[in-house]
A and B are shown apart, each in its own frame.
Chain A
C-alpha cells in the first residue's frame, strides 16, 4: 500500500500564502492573549487550591458555588468534570494579607502594649527571583511611640509572629516583611469541611487535591522559562553544528510558530496552562523538530547530489521526497494521541489536547514554514550579494 507515489507539489511556491495563514492564526492567538491579559495559567504557576470532588449523585453547581463563596472564596471557579457527578473547584491566588495584618498586630500589642499600634496597610508582595526576594506580606504599622527596635524584634517573635526583616520608615512608622504561611492548604481543608457539612445526605469522595503556594508557583514559572530557553539554545547549537546556522534559524522559527499557535488556541478556547501542558509544549518542540530535521536532512543530501537545480527547486524536491514519511509518522502519532485524548481520562486531557494541536501544527510547519523559510533566507542573501556586486 502506498499513499503517495512520486509527488511534485510546489510547496515552496505556496510559501507566501502559508506565511499569511500562519500570521493570521498567530495574530488571532496573540490578540486573544492580549485581551485576556496573558495566558490562563493554572494554580501550578499562580498558586492556589484545587479540589476534585465526586458525589454519589449530581448536585446543583449553584449550590456548590454558594458553599465556596460562603467559605470566603468569591473568586472560586466550579466546573463539571468528567462524568456528571464530579466537580472541580479551583481557587487561585489566595491572599493571606488579612491574617498577616491581624497576627502582627496581636504580637505587637502583646510585645509592647503601651505603644499605641495602628495598622496602616498590608501589601502582598509577589516573589521575585531575579532579586532573590521570596515573597510575602509587607505590613506597615504606626505607633504613637516606637519602642526600642531590638527589643521589639525579640518580643514580636516570642509572641508568635515571625518576620524576615523590619525597617523603620519614619519616626512613627515600621514596615514588617512577613513570610507566607501556607494558607492555601488551610483553604483546602476548610473547603472540604464546608462541603461535607453542606451536603450531609450525599456521599462524598475527594478524588484529588492540589495546593501550591505562591513561592512554588513563581519558582515553577522560572524553571519552565529556563527549560524552554535552554532547550532552544541546545537545539540551535546542535543544528548549527550538524547543518548550518540558517537551518537552525529555520527550525527555531518553526518551533516558535508551533508553540505560539498552540498557545493561541489554548487562549482562544479558554483552556488553562498547567505544568503538564508546558511539558506537552516542550514535547511539541521535540516532535516538530524531528519532522523539520528529516526534511532538512534531505535538503542537505540533495544539495550535494543535485547541484544544478535552483535552491528553491531543490528544497521543494526534498519536501516531496520526504512527504510520505512525514504524513505516515504524523498519522501514527496522531492515532495514539487521539486515543490518549479520548480515553486517557480528564487528568491528562489538556496534555493530550496540546499534543494533538501541536502535532498537526508541527507537521504543517515543517512542510510549509521551516523549509520555505530557508528559501526565503537564501534568496534574500543571494540578492543582497548580487546587489553589492
Chain B
C-alpha cells in the first residue's frame, strides 16, 4: 500500500469511528422501547441523563413545546429602577419555569432587553403564559416554631391515616433497600434540635448553614400506616423538617391532598426550600418549612439590596438592603416582635433563604450575613430585588408546536429523506455501475459524519434541519458526479484506468472546491442571521457541504485506489 493511500485509510477510519462514537448514545436511545427508557430513567438516572445529553437533540418543532421571547418593558420604570432589571426578570422566570415540569427548559438572555425561553414538551401553554406574565411576589414570612409544626404534623398524621393507603408508597422511589423498619423510624421521627448560639450583634440576620451539626442519619423511609405523614420525614433541623429526596414526592402529594390541606391551619403554609441539600450521611434532601401567611413583610417595598464586604469578616460577603418608608415601618414591627425567630424569604412560593432575626431593624436598613460567596450574594440580592419588579414582560414572539405535529414532522421528514436516499442511490448505481456504488457509500459515509457532528456539537435537529439533510443527499452526489464525468472524459481520451482516475480527481478538485465554498458562504451567512429553525438548516447544510467534500475527495478516492491498486482492473466500471 502506498504511503498516501495508507494515510487516507487511517484518516477515514478515524473519522468514521469518531462519528460512530458520537452517534452511539443516539442509537442506544433510539433502540430502547419506551418502557425500557422509563425503567432506565428511574434506576440509573445519572446514566440516563448522560445518554440523553449526548444523543442528538430534537428541536422544539420536532419534540413539541413552546418557544417564547419576552421583552422587558421598562417604560414604567424610573432610571434608578431600570438598573439590572433584566437580571431580576431572569431570576423570576427561572424560578417559575421549574413549576412547568418540563425536563430541559432553556432560558437565556438575548440582547439588552430580551429573554428567550424554550420549554420542550410543554403541554399547557396557556398556563405557561399566565405564570410567566405574572408580577413577581416576594415576601419575608415568619417561620413557625417547632412546637407549632409538631402540632400540625400530629394533625396530618391523624387525618391522613387510612386515607391514602398504598398510593403514597408508589410515589416513593423504587430504591427501598435502604429503608428502615417502621419501629426503628419511630425513634427518629421527631427530634428537636437546640437553637444555635446567638452571638451575632447589630442589625444582622445570619443565615444558618445546613449540615454543620446534628443532622441525623437520612434513610429512605417506608410509610407507616399509623403515622402516614411523620414517618416520611427524616428529622427536625431547628424549626424546619428535613425530607430525603426520595420522599419529597410523597410528602408533596400528602400536603396537596384535600385532607392534608384541611389539616394545615389557614394562617400557615408548608413551603420548600428551593435548594437541594447534600445530607451529611449521604444522599440529598429538601428542607420543608411551615411559614406564616399572616405575619410577613412584602418585598414590594424593598428599594435596594446589594452585596457588600462584611466589616467583621473581610473575606466574606453580606447583603445590605433598604426598604422604603412604608416597608421600613412594616419591617420594624415584624423584626421587633419576632426576635431570634427564623424568617423565610419567599419568591413566588419558593423559599430562597431563611435568615434568623437578630435584632429589631428600626429604619428599614439592614444586612443579611451568611459567609456568602460572590455568586450566592449576587443571586440572593437579585432575588430580593425581584419582588420590586414593576416591569412588564411582554411576549414579542411565541411559537408552540403540539406533540402530534412534531411527531408527524419527524415521520414525514424521515420518510422523505429515506425515499430520496434510496432513489438517488439506485440512480447512481444504474448510471455509474460499480463507481455508483462507491458514490453511494460516500453518501452514506457523509451522512454518518453529518449525524456524528450534530451529536458532537449538541446541535438540535429541526424540521428545516431535516430539509438541509435531504438537500445534502441530493447535492453531495455532485462532487462525485463531477469526478466521474471527468474520469469518463479521460477514459474516452484513451488513458489507462489509473491515470484516468488520477487526472479525473485532479481536474475536478478546483471545481469542487470553488463550487462548495461559495455555497458554504451562503450557509454561514444564513447561520449568522437566521433564528432558531433557520440556524438548524444552516448547520446541517454547512456540515453536509464539508462532509461531502471530504467524502468525495478522500473517502471515494480511497475506495478507487484500493479497488485499482493491483493494476488488474483493465476496464473501469463507470
Complex: A160 Cα to B538 Cα, angstroms: 43
Q: Which of B420-453 contact A (CB under 8 A)?
A: 420-421, 423-424, 427-428, 430-433
A384 within 8 A of B: no
- Known: A238-B518, A282-B522. Is A336-B75 also a contact (CB below 8 A)? no
Is A182 touching B394 in the complex (CB atoms < 8 A)?
yes
Q: Chain B, 403-428, contact with A by CB distance < 8 Å: what is the 0/1 string?
A: 01100110011011101110110011
- Give the number of A-B contacts (CB < 8 Å): 245
Task: Name A4's closest neighbour in chain B (CB-CB).
Answer: B485
Task: Name B479's closest neighbour in chain A (CB-CB).
Answer: A329
A285 in complex: contacting residue of B431, B489, B507, B522, CB < 8 Å: B522
Chain A nearest CB, measured from B569 CB (Å): 19
Chain B nearest CB, measured from A95 CB (Å): 16
Is A290 touching B397 in the complex (CB atoms < 8 A)?
no
Q: Interface-forming stretch among B164-172, B268-276, B509-517?
A: B509-517
Of B430, B482, B519, B522, chain A has the most CB atoms within 10 Å of the CB of B522
Is A211 touching B519 in the complex (CB atoms < 8 A)?
no
Q: Which of A204-229 contact B (CB under 8 A)?
A: 205-213, 215-216, 220, 223-224, 226-227
Size of the B side of the interface (Cβ < 8 Å), in residues, is: 79
B454 within 8 A of A: no
A270 within 8 A of B: no
Is B464 touching A276 in the complex (CB atoms < 8 A)?
yes
B17 within 8 A of A: no
Is A336 touching B529 in the complex (CB atoms < 8 A)?
no
Q: Chain A residues near B400: list those with CB within 8 A.
A: 206, 208-210
B530 within 8 A of A: yes
B56 within 8 A of A: no
B86 within 8 A of A: no
Interface residues on A, range: 35 or more
B471 in complex: contacting residue of A226, A235, A336, CB < 8 Å: A336
Q: Chain A, 355-367, contact with B by CB distance < 8 Å: what is the 0/1 string?
A: 1000000000000
Q: Which of A150-198 contact B (CB under 8 A)?
A: 157, 160-164, 178-182, 184-185, 188-189, 192
Q: Chain B residues near A146: list those with CB within 8 A.
A: none
Is A351 touching B392 in the complex (CB atoms < 8 A)?
no
Is B485 touching A333 in the complex (CB atoms < 8 A)?
no
Is A212 touching B397 in the complex (CB atoms < 8 A)?
yes
Is A179 touching B75 in the complex (CB atoms < 8 A)?
yes
Complex: A324 Cα to B485 Cα, angstroms: 8
Chain B nearest CB, measured from A187 CB (Å): 11
A331 in complex: contacting residue of B77, B421, B427, B507, CB < 8 Å: B427
Is B481 touching A329 in the complex (CB atoms < 8 A)?
yes
B180 within 8 A of A: no
Q: Interface-forming stretch among A30-38, A61-69, A71-79, A293-301?
A: A293-301
Is A329 touching B510 in the complex (CB atoms < 8 A)?
no
B398 in complex: contacting residue of A180, A211, A321, A322, CB < 8 Å: A211
A333 in complex: contacting residue of B409, B421, B475, CB < 8 Å: B475
- Known: A279-B526, A345-B409, A345-B413. Is A290-B125 also a contact (CB below 8 A)? no
Q: Chain B, 451-467, contact with A by CB distance < 8 Å: what is the 0/1 string?
A: 00000000000011001
Is B394 touching A181 in the complex (CB atoms < 8 A)?
yes
B474 within 8 A of A: yes
Complex: A328 Cα to B475 Cα, angstroms: 10
Complex: A325 Cα to B486 Cα, angstroms: 9
Complex: A189 Cα to B397 Cα, angstroms: 14
Complex: A180 Cα to B71 Cα, angstroms: 10
Complex: A230 Cα to B76 Cα, angstroms: 38
A130 within 8 A of B: no
B117 within 8 A of A: no
Q: Chain B residues near A180: list those with CB within 8 A.
A: 394, 396
Task: Name A334's closest neighbour in chain B (CB-CB).
Answer: B474
Complex: A216 Cα to B431 Cα, angstroms: 49
Complex: A296 Cα to B409 Cα, angstroms: 39
Complex: A185 Cα to B125 Cα, angstroms: 11
Q: Chain B residues near A335: list those with CB within 8 A.
A: 420, 423-424, 427, 474
Is A287 touching B521 in the complex (CB atoms < 8 A)?
no
Is A332 touching B427 in the complex (CB atoms < 8 A)?
yes
B402 in complex: contacting residue of A162, A207, A294, CB < 8 Å: A207
Q: Which of B102-160 contact A (CB under 8 A)?
A: 125-126, 129
B205 within 8 A of A: no
B530 in complex: contacting residue of A160, A279, A325, A331, CB < 8 Å: A279
B467 in complex: contacting residue of A213, A328, A351, CB < 8 Å: A351
Q: Chain A residues near B408: list those with CB within 8 A.
A: 345
Q: Which of A302-350 contact B (CB under 8 A)?
A: 321-322, 324-325, 328-329, 331-337, 339-340, 342-345, 347-348
B223 within 8 A of A: no
- Known: A52-B405, A189-B129. Is A163-B522 also a contact (CB below 8 A)? no
Complex: A333 Cα to B541 Cα, angstroms: 14
- Known: A182-B394, A182-B396, A283-B522. Is A290-B420 also a contact (CB below 8 A)? no
The 7 closest A-B pairs by CB, nearest first: A162-B75, A336-B420, A333-B474, A162-B76, A286-B519, A227-B529, A336-B474
Interface CB pairs A-B, < 8 A, 24: A157-B77, A180-B396, A207-B405, A208-B402, A209-B399, A215-B396, A231-B521, A231-B522, A242-B514, A279-B537, A285-B522, A290-B515, A294-B482, A294-B511, A294-B515, A296-B514, A328-B485, A333-B474, A336-B473, A337-B474, A343-B412, A345-B408, A347-B463, A348-B463
Known: A206-B402, A301-B507, A345-B408; 17 extra A-B contacts, CB below 8 A, are A1-B432, A157-B76, A207-B401, A209-B399, A227-B529, A279-B464, A279-B537, A283-B537, A286-B519, A286-B522, A290-B475, A296-B514, A297-B511, A297-B515, A325-B482, A344-B467, A351-B464
